[in-house]
C-alpha cells in the first residue's frame, strides 16, 4: 500500500487512511468482528488489490470483503471504484454475498447508521447456514 498522507485511528488503535475507514474499523471492533484492514487480495487475473476490510464470519467460517468509496462525487474516483467492483465480480466476489460497500459524497457523508446497516447485513449472512 501507499504511505499514509493523513493518519486516522480506530478506537483500538488500527491506523487507517481515512476518517471514514477509521469509523468502519471502530464499529467492527465495537461489534466484536475479527477483521483485517488494508490487506492483499489476489484476483482472478493474478493481480493484487488491497481490500479495505476482510471480515471473518465465525458461524459460517468465511471471509467477506468490505470497501468504502469516499469521494463518489469525483468522476475519476467513481469510475475507478466501479472498475474495482468489476474486478471483484470477475474474481467471484458478489455484492450482498461476500462483498459489501459503503460510499459517500460531499452532500451525503458516511454515517454510523450506514455502517451499522451493512454490518447488520453481514451478521445476518453469518447466521445463514445454507451458503
Mind listing the pLDDT tens digit for each residue in 51-104?
Answer: 999 999 999 999 999 999 999 999 999 999 999 999 999 999 999 999 999 999
- Rounded to whole angstroms, the Cα distance separating 40 from 1 reads 9
Band of residue 129 on the pLDDT scale cut at 50, 70, 90: low
- Please say if the pLDDT value at position 131 is more than 60: no
- Rounded to whole angstroms, the Cα distance separating 129 from 93 reads 18
Amino acid at each position: 500500500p501507499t504511505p499514509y498522507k493523513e493518519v486516522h485511528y480506530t478506537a483500538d488503535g488500527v491506523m487507517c487512511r481515512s476518517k471514514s475507514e477509521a469509523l468502519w474499523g471502530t464499529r467492527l471492533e465495537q461489534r466484536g468482528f475479527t477483521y483485517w484492514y488494508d490487506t492483499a487480495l489476489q484476483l482472478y487475473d493474478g493481480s493484487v488489490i488491497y481490500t479495505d476490510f476482510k471480515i471473518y464470519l465465525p458461524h459460517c467460517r468465511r471471509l467477506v470483503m468490505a470497501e468504502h468509496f469516499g469521494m463518489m462525487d469525483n468522476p475519476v474516483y467513481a469510475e475507478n471504484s466501479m472498475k474495482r467492483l468489476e474486478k471483484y465480480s470477475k474474481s467471484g466476489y458478489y455484492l450482498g454475498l461476500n462483498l459489501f460497500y459503503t460510499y459517500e459524497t460531499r452532500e451525503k457523508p458516511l454515517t454510523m447508521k450506514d455502517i451499522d446497516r451493512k454490518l447488520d447485513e453481514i451478521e445476518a449472512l453469518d447466521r445463514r447456514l445454507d451458503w
